[in-house]
């Protein structure tokens, strides 16, 4: 299935309110997402403008962000980040979620410019079946997700008999702490205060994650794949790379994330890798 993800796009479950004030309250802030579902995620096309480059809203320009380099787009916004000017626009890569009365996701629509995908979810006592339909593909892809006694996916199989490359292992709280591939190699995750703070690969490389503990993460449309991080990710550093990635957030009047700005920091310089916008459906 083509679930919409970025190496750095993290969707999280609701954070509960606690009546008493403890140290844990600072690690599990009151959720501004109570009774809210993630509705639309849009990854925008963007390009950094050169000094003196005269580009206006409505102009035709060409993308420079990592996934869209060279693609033409119509500019609909000009913004400044870290002293650099960016043109944003085009047809964003929208992922739209639809839920049932119980708050379970029953359909997603991935409006990728190259095609449009719809995935339908059918919930059974011990498994979840999905069907992915694409406008440019004649046959649908049927997938079965087997659930454990926690209601979490432990095995995924496709109608053609192929199995996913990694098998998740969860802790007692529902967080993924390890993934094993078909060769027996594993990736291990360290969880602290509801956040993944380290990912360790079989070859010895690792990635370290940092969070804003005052901000809850976004609602998680797919809780059956395990709990997501409790707080907003702000930085990730990989041991094999000199650069690192930082995340900046803009918030709406209700305190919910309306835009995530992904930046690569290398040699003291920053470059925006992407602008991702979010919309919610709140009761």
Question: What CATH number corresponds to the domain at position 157?
Answer: 2.40.160
Of residues 245 and 70, more confidently modeled = 245
Residue 223's alpha-carbon distances to 49, 98, 120, 204, 253, in angstroms, are: 40, 15, 16, 29, 27
Q: What is the largest CA-CA distance in the chain?
A: 61
Please state, in angstroms and rounded to a whole number, the distance separating the CA atoms of residues 120 and 115.
17
Q: What is the mean pLDDT of the chain?
A: 84
Q: Is 272 exposed, middle or buried (0-12, 13-18, 19+ CB in 10 A)?
A: buried
Q: Is residue 9 part of a domain?
A: no
User: In the predicted model, is pLDDT for residue 225 greater than 80?
Assistant: yes
Convert 156-177 to b/e letters by CB count within 10 Å (16 or more is b). Answer: beeeeeeebebbbebeeebbbb
Q: What is the pLDDT of residue 22?
A: 31
Kindly report, residue by residue over 129-139, the tens digit of the pLDDT: 999 998 877 88
Q: Is residue 41 part of a domain?
A: yes
Sign of the CA dihedral with 66 first, then 215, 235, and 169 last = negative
Q: Is residue 16 part of a domain?
A: no
Q: Is residue 161 part of a domain?
A: yes
Q: What is the pLDDT of residue 148?
A: 95
Q: What is the pLDDT of residue 221?
A: 96
Q: SS3 letters for 206-246?
A: EEEEEEEEEEECECCCCHHHCCCCCEEEEEEEECCCCCEEE
Q: Is residue 45 part of a domain?
A: yes
Q: Is residue 137 part of a domain?
A: yes
Q: Is residue 1 part of a domain?
A: no
Residue 261, number of CB atoms within 10 A of its CB? 20
The domain containing residue 80 runs over which residues? 23-282
What average pLDDT does range 22-44 have in this prediction?
71
Please state, in angstroms and rounded to a whole number, the distance separating the CA atoms of residues 177 and 170.
6
Strands (E), 25-151: 36-48, 60-62, 72-81, 84-99, 105-112, 115-124, 127-134, 141-147
Q: What is the pLDDT of residue 150?
A: 95
Range with the poorest average pLDDT among 55-69, 113-127, 139-153, 257-271:
55-69
Share of the chain above pLDDT 90, in %: 60
Q: What is the pLDDT of residue 28?
A: 42
User: In the predicted model, is pLDDT for residue 1 greater than 50?
Assistant: no
Whether the Cβ atoms of residue 14 and residue 31 lie closer than 8 Å to each other: yes
Q: What is the pLDDT of residue 67?
A: 62
Residue 19, number of CB atoms within 10 A of its CB? 5
Q: What is the pLDDT of residue 157?
A: 83
Helix, strand, or coil here: 56?
coil
Please state, in angstroms and rounded to a whole number, the distance separating the CA atoms of residues 29 and 227.
16
Q: Is residue 11 part of a domain?
A: no
User: In the predicted model, is pLDDT for residue 274 greater than 80?
Assistant: yes
User: In the predicted model, is pLDDT for residue 262 greater than 50?
Assistant: yes
Most confident by average pLDDT, 4-18, 32-46, 124-138, 227-241: 227-241
Provide the domain count of the chain.
Answer: 1
Could you say which DSSP state residue 202 is in? T
Kindly indicate the confidence band of residue 178, based on its pLDDT and cuts at 50, 70 and 90: very high
Q: What is the pLDDT of residue 184?
A: 80
Residues 6+ apart with CB under 8 A from 235: 209, 210, 244, 245, 246, 247
Q: What is the pLDDT of residue 161?
A: 52
Kindly report, residue by residue over 199-223, the tens digit of the pLDDT: 999 889 999 999 999 999 999 999 9
| Secondary-structure breakdown of the chain: helix, strand, coil percentages, each rounded to the nearest 5 | 5, 55, 40
Q: Is 59 exposed, middle or buried (0-12, 13-18, 19+ CB in 10 A)?
A: middle
User: In the predicted model, is pLDDT for residue 21 greater than 70?
Assistant: no
User: In the predicted model, is pLDDT for residue 224 greater than 60?
Assistant: yes
Q: What is the pLDDT of residue 18?
A: 26
Kindly report, residue by residue over 39-81, the tens digit of the pLDDT: 999 988 888 898 889 999 999 988 766 666 677 888 999 999 9
**The pTM is what?**
0.82
């Amino acid at each position: 299935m083509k679930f919409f993800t970025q190496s750095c796009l993290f969707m999280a479950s609701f954070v509960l309110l606690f009546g008493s004030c403890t140290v844990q309250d600072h690690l599990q802030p009151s959720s501004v997402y109570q009774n809210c579902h993630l509705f639309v995620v849009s990854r925008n096309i963007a390009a950094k403008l050169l000094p003196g480059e005269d580009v206006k809203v409505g102009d035709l320009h060409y993308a420079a962000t990592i996934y869209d380099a060279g693609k033409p787009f119509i500019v609909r916004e000009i913004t400044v980040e870290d002293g650099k000017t960016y043109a944003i626009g085009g047809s964003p890569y929208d992922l739209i979620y639809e839920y049932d009365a119980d708050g379970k996701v029953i359909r997603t629509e991935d409006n990728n410019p190259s095609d449009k995908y719809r995935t339908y979810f059918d919930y059974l006592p011990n498994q979840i079946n999905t069907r992915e339909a694409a406008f440019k593909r004649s046959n649908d892809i049927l997938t079965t997700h087997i659930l454990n006694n926690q209601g979490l996916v432990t095995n995924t199989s496709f109608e053609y008999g192929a199995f996913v490359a990694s098998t998740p292992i969860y802790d007692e709280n529902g967080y993924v702490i390890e993934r094993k591939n078909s060769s027996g190699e594993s990736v291990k995750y360290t969880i602290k205060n509801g956040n993944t703070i380290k990912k360790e690969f079989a070859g010895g490389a690792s990635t370290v994650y940092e969070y804003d503990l005052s901000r809850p993460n976004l609602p998680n449309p797919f809780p059956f794949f395990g709990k997501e991080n409790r707080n907003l990710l702000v930085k990730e550093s990989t041991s094999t790379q000199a650069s690192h990635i930082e995340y900046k957030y803009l918030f709406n009047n209700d305190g919910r994330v309306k835009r995530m700005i992904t930046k690569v920091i290398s040699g003291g310089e920053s470059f925006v890798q992407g602008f991702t916008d979010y919309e919610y459906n709140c009761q």
